[in-house]
């Protein structure tokens, strides 16, 4: 399912009307009817509703909704803002029908009195055509709805007062229980703070022909199995461990051995054939006492149980055996780390995942990523992304998808910006957003598990676009499945244990 910007939605709309010849009036009728249907399904008995309608096409949808609710026997009134002369012809038509039907249409002050006693308030004030900070009187009316409404609030397309593309709140925004949106989800449904205003989200079909979408594909999609499920095919009965790839994980300095262990175990649970954990020599013994299945490879020791910045003598002999490399889980900082990483990235042409300190090494200079031969995946959380780019965490969070896309396009990498609704951006500017929040994953170690799953997928030979979206999806579902009693109590190792069930659910 696609995720649109306001402009992408307008393009789909325009192409449907101009090229396909389907009148805008039909789209508006479909939109309003489907939104009304969502209400009628939820409230089978007639209710008292106030429809707040602006003068744009979002208001037009509101007039259609009012008509359908009135036809179903609801007691409906319309609070209308703006001027009839400025309405589009479709909106004017549906406004006229409501008048003819005798549905009361009142101005702002009168409608304010009804908001407090209505069972349902329909917010059709502003949709994707909103521009800049809210002006009066709409701002006060939105404030009144949030303050006095006791009933159920349906937002039409987007909650009025949020910016479609950035997810910013433009001074004040409707707090909805349900948002019914048309043809595709919009970015504001998945970007904070707007995402906190929408309530439940329902995407309905309004009749935009599939050919129109194929011709004008939006750049973002929601993460769902259809994007990558073909790569989760069952294991061939003729396969052996060498058929399923070999991941090298570099990390696990003193005090952070668990991070490397988690990545390695996650990769194995995800199905990679072999995992080698490359850790400082001094950590080989403690790690061997901790994990059984991964191979362990000692790297030259540096001070304080970390890496020295040198390569092991058998590097050149062993390096060609790995089918992917993950750098960062518990890596720590060490002298000459930048030269070390540059050499590694130059000499390894298989896919590389960079996480945690593997990313911190890059901070301020990502330019040498452009030289890489194989695919590179960066998996920053917002703090790491802020450090990478030398900007604040607030700046990252206020434009999550833009930041992820900018890095991906500029440096030719795949970016996985973690957080609620993880954003994945590819070098060609395409994006995938993960539509689920996973509170159980908000814990130390869970990033290391993701790194292992992504590295494991890449090592198995799954193409990067699929491996990354698939990995993010499975990590999130395993987190959900691991939440047996409380999300508070889920450990990163529990997530690893539930990976098998998460995979099984997709098969």
Ligand X SMILES: NC(=O)C1=CN([C@@H]2O[C@H](COP(=O)(O)OP(=O)(O)OC[C@H]3O[C@@H](n4cnc5c(N)ncnc54)[C@H](O)[C@@H]3O)[C@@H](O)[C@H]2O)[C@H](O)CC1
The answer to the question of residue 60 lying near ligand X (CB under 6 A) is yes
240: left (phi over 0), alpha (psi -120 to 50) or beta: beta
79 labelled as ligand-binding?
no
By the rule CB under 6 A, 473 interacts with ligand X: no
Binding flag, residue 138, ligand X (CB under 6 A): yes
- Among 154-162, 239-247, 271-279, 294-302, which window interacts with K ion (CB under 5 A)? 154-162
Closer residue to ligand X in complex, CB, 92/437: 92
Q: Provide the β-strand partners of residue 178.
A: 154, 200
Return the one option of ligand X, K ion, none that residue 384 interacts with (CB less than 5 to 8 A, by type): none
Minimum CB separation of residue 157 from K ion in Å reads 5
Closest CA to 161 of 182, 181, 188, 187: 188
**Which tokens in the block code for residue 293?**
């299945």
- 52: β partners: 79, 123
Q: What are phi and psi for residue 23, nearest 5 degrees?
A: -60, 145
Closest CA relative to residue 358, chosen from 292, 436, 472, 454: 454
Q: Which of 3, 31, 153, 279 binds ligand X (CB under 6 A)?
A: 31
Q: Does 55 bind ligand X (CB under 6 A)?
A: yes
Which string of DSSP letters, residue by residue, matches 188-225? Answer: GGTSTTGGGTS-EEEEE-----HHHHHHS--SEEE--G
Contacting residue, 129, 255, 390, 429, with ligand X by CB under 6 A: 129
- 3-class secondary-structure state, position 346: helix
Are 52 and 112 in contact by the 8 Å Cβ rule? The answer is no
**Cβ-based nearer residue to ligand X, 73 or 96:** 96
Among 15, 51, 70, 134, binds ligand X (CB under 6 A): 134
- Please identify, among the stretches 23-31, 104-112, 285-293, 330-338, the one whose residues bind ligand X according to the rule CB under 6 A: 23-31
Using the 8-state DSSP alphabet, how is residue 74 labeled?
Answer: -
Positive or negative torsion for Cα 105, 107, 110, 113: positive
Interface of this chain with ligand X, residues 226 to 285, rule: CB under 6 A: none
Position of minimal CB gap to K ion: 160
Asked whether position 218 contacts ligand X by CB under 6 A, the answer is: no
Does residue 66 interact with ligand X by CB under 6 A? no
* Contact residue for K ion among 77, 160, 446, 469 (CB under 5 A): 160
- As measured in angstroms, the least distance from the Cβ of 61 to K ion is 8
Q: Is 126 in the site for ligand X (CB under 6 A)?
A: yes
Nearer to K ion, 30 or 160 (CB): 160
Strand 220-222 with 2-4, pairing: antiparallel
Contact 202, 179 (CB under 8 A): yes
In the numeric block, which tokens belong to residue 133? 């900070």
Residue 278 known to bind ligand: no
Query: What tokens were used for 176?
Result: 């909805």
State which of residues 128, 283, 438, 446 lies at the interface with ligand X (CB under 6 A): 128
Query: Do 451 and 267 meet the contact criterion of CB atoms below 8 Å apart?
Result: no
Instruction: Establish whether 61 is an annotated binding residue.
Output: yes
Annotated ligand binding at 419? The verdict is: yes
Question: Hey, how many other C-beta atoms are within 10 angstroms of the C-beta on 61?
Answer: 33
Query: Which residues form the interface with K ion (CB under 5 A)?
Result: 123, 155-156, 160
Residues contributing to the site for ligand X (CB under 6 A): 9, 13, 27-28, 31, 54-61, 82, 126-132, 134-135, 138, 156-157, 182-183, 206
User: Known binding site for (6S)-NADPHX: residues?
Assistant: 57-61, 127-133, 157, 259, 330, 381, 448
């Amino acid at each position: 399912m696609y995720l649109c910007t306001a402009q992408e939605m307008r393009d789909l709309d325009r192409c449907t009307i101009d090229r396909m010849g389907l009148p805008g009036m039909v789209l508006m009728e479909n939109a309003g009817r489907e939104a009304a249907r969502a209400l009628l399904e939820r409230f089978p008995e007639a209710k008292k509703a106030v429809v707040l309608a602006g003068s744009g096409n979002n208001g037009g949808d509101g007039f259609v909704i009012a008509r359908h609710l009135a036809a179903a026997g609801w007691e409906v009134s319309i609070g209308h803002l703006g001027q009839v002369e400025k309405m589009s012809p479709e909106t004017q038509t549906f406004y006229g029908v409501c008048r003819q039907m005798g549905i009361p249409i009142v101005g702002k002050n009168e409608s304010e009195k009804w908001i407090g006693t209505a069972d349902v308030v329909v917010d059709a004030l502003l949709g994707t055509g909103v521009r800049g900070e809210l002006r009066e009187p709409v701002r006060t009316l939105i404030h009144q709805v949030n303050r006095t409404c006791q009933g159920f609030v349906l937002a039409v397309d987007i909650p009025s007062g949020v910016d479609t593309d950035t997810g910013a709140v433009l001074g004040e925004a409707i707090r909805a229980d349900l948002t019914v949106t048309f043809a595709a989800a919009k970015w504001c449904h998945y970007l904070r703070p707007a995402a906190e205003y929408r309530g439940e989200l329902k995407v309905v079909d309004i009749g935009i022909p599939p050919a129109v979408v194929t011709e004008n594909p939006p750049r973002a999609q929601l993460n769902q199995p259809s994007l990558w499920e073909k790569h989760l095919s069952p294991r061939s009965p003729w396969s052996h461990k060498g058929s399923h790839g070999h991941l090298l994980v570099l990390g696990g300095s003193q005090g952070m051995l668990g991070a490397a262990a988690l990545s390695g175990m996650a990769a194995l649970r995800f199905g990679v054939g072999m995992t080698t954990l490359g850790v400082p020599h001094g950590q080989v013994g403690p790690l061997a006492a901790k994990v059984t299945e991964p191979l362990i490879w000692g790297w030259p020791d540096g001070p304080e149980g970390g890496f020295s910045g040198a390569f092991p003598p058998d590097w050149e002999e062993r390096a060609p055996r790995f089918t992917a490399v993950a750098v960062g889980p518990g890596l720590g900082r060490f002298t000459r780390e930048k030269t070390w990483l540059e050499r590694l990235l130059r000499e390894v042409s298989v896919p590389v995942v960079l996480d945690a300190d593997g990313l911190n090494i890059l901070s301020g200079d990502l330019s040498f990523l452009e030289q890489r031969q194989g695919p590179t995946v960066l998996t920053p959380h917002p703090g790491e992304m802020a450090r990478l780019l030398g900007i604040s965490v607030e700046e990252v969070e206020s434009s999550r998808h833009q930041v992820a896309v900018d890095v991906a396009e500029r440096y030719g990498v795949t970016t996985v910006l973690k957080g609620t609704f993880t954003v994945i951006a590819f070098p060609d500017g395409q994006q995938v957003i993960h539509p689920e929040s996973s509170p159980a994953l908000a814990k130390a170690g869970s990033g290391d598990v993701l790194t292992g799953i992504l590295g494991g997928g890449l090592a198995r030979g799954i193409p990067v676009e699929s491996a990354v979206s698939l990995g993010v999806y499975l990590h999130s579902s395993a987190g959900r499945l691991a939440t047996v009693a409380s999300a508070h109590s889920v450990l990163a190792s529990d997530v690893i244990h539930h990976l098998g069930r998460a995979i099984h659910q997709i098969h």
